[in-house]
Amino acid sequence: MSKYSIILHIIILFYIIDGIQGCSCSRPHLQNNFCNADFVMKVRLRGEGEYQYKKTLVNVDGSSEPVEHRHPIGFIYNVKILNIYKLNENDAGLTINSSAAVIHTPPNDGLCKVDLSIRTKYLVTGTISDGELWIYLCSWGTPWAWITKSQKKYLKFTYAKNCDCKPMEDFYRGSTLDESKCYWKSNSRHGECYERHTACIIDKNSTTGGCKWHRNKRLRTCRAEKMDALNSFFP
């Protein structure tokens, strides 16, 4: 086997291993993702995505000229912007009135690539770096149909005004409570209710600027349904 063949096999093996390892992360509450993101948008693909490649020259023994090799450095989607919920100042030329954009994501699952499909509307949140919009699997690339009515309302009116308050997994709490946090257990009986039907908001009755979970009908309904399901399982 030639040295060139060995190099190609090593490159291919690297991407195979990278994909097998996969992207491991705990996706945060949508409120945290909204507040930490440079942009939050509802989008739809304008066509199939495509890989971005970088060309490099590989020197091979016995060859009079270097051999060109292309390896993927990213995957891009051209999207139609249906709504913008948040947009920081940026060097990407994106404005609140923009109707289209190019979104970048890593080239494989091992690097947290986000897979989007045509004919599906998505809520995407991400960062802007060197004039490019980037999304990762650990952020939000979620079908719009999965977004609850509560989350849609919070996207418009609530999250932006309450970014000083943060939902926090209970196991991070420690021995001292932080009044700027709203604690929850994602793997508890009611975890999904706090993830999908409420937000952590400023407590106007607090003298120290504390935060609290927003109580609403959908949260109460979700909690009651979870309790009924548990009681029917353990009569």
* pLDDT score of 150: 97
Cβ 78 vs Cβ 102: under 8 Å = yes
Q: Is residue 155 part of a domain?
A: yes
* CATH number, residue 68: 2.40.50.120
End-of-domain residue from the set 115, 144, 173: 144
How many CB atoms lie under 10 A from the CB of residue 225? Answer: 12
Question: What sign has the CA pseudo-torsion 56, 57, 61, 63?
Answer: positive
The parts of the chain modelled with pLDDT lower than 70 are: 1-22, 27, 61-64, 172, 174-175, 228-235
Residues 76, 137 share a domain? yes
Cβ 166 vs Cβ 64: under 8 Å = no
End-of-domain residue from the set 99, 119, 144: 144
End-of-domain residue from the set 144, 176, 201: 144
Q: Which residue intervals of the chain are DSSP H helices?
A: 3-21, 30-36, 149-157, 191-196, 217-233
* pLDDT score of 229: 66
Residues 58, 135 share a domain? yes
* pLDDT score of 4: 36
pTM attached to this predicted model: 0.82
* pLDDT score of 28: 81
- Domain extent, residue 210, equals 148-235
Residues 225, 189 share a domain? yes
